[in-house]
Amino acid sequence: MKLCPTCKTELDGDASFCPHDADILIAKQDAADPDPRLGTALGGRYLLVRRIADGANGRVYEARDTTDRSRLAVKVLHKEVARDATSCERLKREAETALTLDDPHVLRVIGYFEEPPNAHYLVMEFLEGEELSALLAREKRLPLARTLRLLSQVSAALDHAHDRGLIHRDLKPENIFICRSEEGDEVKILDFGSVKLQEEKGPKLTAFGTTLGSPYYMAPEQALALPTLDRRADVFAVGAILYEMITGKIAFAGHNVATILFKLLNEEPLPPTVQAEGLPAEVDDVLEEALAKQPGLRFPTVGALADSFGRSLGVAGTPAEWGKTAVSALEEKMGSARPAPAPPRGEQTAPVPVDSPARPSGPRADPVLMDDRISLDFGPRPGPSPLVIAALAVGGVAVLGALGVMLWLLT
């Protein structure tokens, strides 16, 4: 049931506009919602018609542009958040960053606006579909051909941003949105609010000892709060997401942030072929390189990761082609040339230590990337005291980041 906010007429069906006064209809349940913004037009232009989602920082609405009746999404900061200058600056940065990007797989942002006293909002294209996190929660594990199409589109968007000196820093399944089209899945990368310029100047939005990002997908150098992040931090995050897509398991799982980050810094995940059946053995090598602790040992770009993954499946072509190819066609290519699945392997339960022999490989194409290695070999040293463990459990990312920097400096 929908309601016209002007004449209060109630209408069934899929109508979007009132037949009496052509006003935009809103959901009846939203009309009774105490949210005072529903039915109002921000800036006199963007009419908020439905609440879509709530987050820690703001609320997202479906909106109509009253000038052309186009369907949009509007993200409005919560009032208490809008009083914080850093939060406002981050939302503004998200808009400014997105406006510099011109890729079909990046969420299109219309603009950032402020209305006194505390209305700060972002106007964006309206997306229909679901987050990758919702898809994984339902399907657990994705078919390889579908994964290849999605990964290829993600790589196009991120390489586009990276070539402009922008690092996302908060890649996770929740920030990869999947739209449906006649051609198949279409990816949109969301939330560039945590973006970092590789040669950043101006005020910082984080303090020493803190970091932005999601611990499950955070690169080791980001967990250590090191200031020298580059595109390879995003390569690591995409590798962790890819691992989850093809195995149905999180690469670095734990019951709290401290445990997750300890594993991230000190352990290697089980090979994908141990975690899931039907994967070619070559996939293990791809994920080993993507999730290397040292940035210089990773793929130099997300595109290189996507290319290597496709070739591990026996698919000819390039990520640019795979991202536009129907899943059924990719499956046919895989069926004709796909390597045999890895033979069953014995059960592995013990983590692989960081200082185990590295996989033999030739020199990287970009030798400069090999020079800025970070030291992650903390041992052998006495184990942390119970006091330190308690501090990590309480402090989470910030405490572990600061402790990690100290250990790194002492190594």
Overall number of domains in the chain: 2
Residues 239 and 214 placed together within one structural domain of the fold: yes
Q: H helices of 100-253, where?
A: 132-139, 144-162, 220-223, 231-247
Q: Which candidate, 362, 367, 323, 374, places its Cα nearest to that of 160?
A: 323
Single-letter amino acid code for the residue at 78: H
Q: What is the mean pLDDT of residues 356-381?
A: 38
In this prediction, residue 94 carries a pLDDT of: 81
Q: Which candidate, 174, 176, 143, places its Cα nearest to that of 248?
A: 143
Residues 108 and 136 placed together within one structural domain of the fold: no
Q: What is the mean pLDDT of residues 221-232?
A: 91
Tens digits of residue pLDDT in 245-294: 999 999 999 989 999 999 999 999 999 999 999 999 999 999 999 999 99
* Within-domain flag for 208: yes
Residues 102 and 250 placed together within one structural domain of the fold: no
Greatest CA separation for the chain: 77
Q: Which candidate, 131, 111, 135, 107, places its Cα nearest to that of 121?
A: 111
In this prediction, residue 408 carries a pLDDT of: 42
Tens digits of residue pLDDT in 160-194: 999 999 999 899 999 999 998 888 999 999 987 66
Tens digits of residue pLDDT in 130-151: 999 999 999 999 999 999 999 9
Question: Which of the listed residues 83, 101, 125 is the one where a domain comes to its end?
Answer: 125
In this prediction, residue 277 carries a pLDDT of: 95
Residues 118 and 167 placed together within one structural domain of the fold: no
Host H or E run for residue 287 = helix 282-290
Mean pLDDT score of the chain: 80
Question: Which of the listed residues 90, 125, 160 is the one where a domain comes to its end?
Answer: 125
Residues 137 and 62 placed together within one structural domain of the fold: no
370: pLDDT strictly greater than 80: no
Residues 152 and 58 placed together within one structural domain of the fold: no
In this prediction, residue 116 carries a pLDDT of: 78
Single-letter amino acid code for the residue at 222: Q
* Within-domain flag for 205: yes
Residues 49 and 140 placed together within one structural domain of the fold: no
In this prediction, residue 162 carries a pLDDT of: 95
Q: Which domain holds residue 286?
A: 129-352+372-410
Cβ atoms 229, 183 nearer than 8 A: no
| CA–CA gap between residue 284 and residue 291 (Å, rounded) | 11
| CA–CA gap between residue 328 and residue 267 (Å, rounded) | 37
Cβ atoms 47, 66 nearer than 8 A: yes
Query: How does residue 338 score in pLDDT terms, banded at 50, 70 and 90?
Result: low
Residues 61 and 83 placed together within one structural domain of the fold: yes
Residues 120 and 138 placed together within one structural domain of the fold: no
Residues 59 and 179 placed together within one structural domain of the fold: no
* Within-domain flag for 278: yes
* Within-domain flag for 367: no
What is the pTM (predicted TM-score) of this model? 0.75
Residues 115 and 140 placed together within one structural domain of the fold: no
366 is catalytic: no
Residues 68 and 163 placed together within one structural domain of the fold: no
* Within-domain flag for 13: no
Q: What is the mean pLDDT of residues 17-32?
A: 60
Cβ atoms 127, 188 nearer than 8 A: yes
Q: H helices of 291-326, where?
A: 302-312, 319-322
| CA–CA gap between residue 142 and residue 388 (Å, rounded) | 39
| CA–CA gap between residue 160 and residue 73 (Å, rounded) | 24
* Within-domain flag for 359: no
Which residue is catalytic, options 30, 170, 185, 284? Answer: 170
* Within-domain flag for 5: no
CATH number for the domain that contains residue 74: 3.30.200.20
Percentage above 90 pLDDT, the chain: 54
Question: Which of the listed residues 125, 147, 177 is the one where a domain comes to its end?
Answer: 125
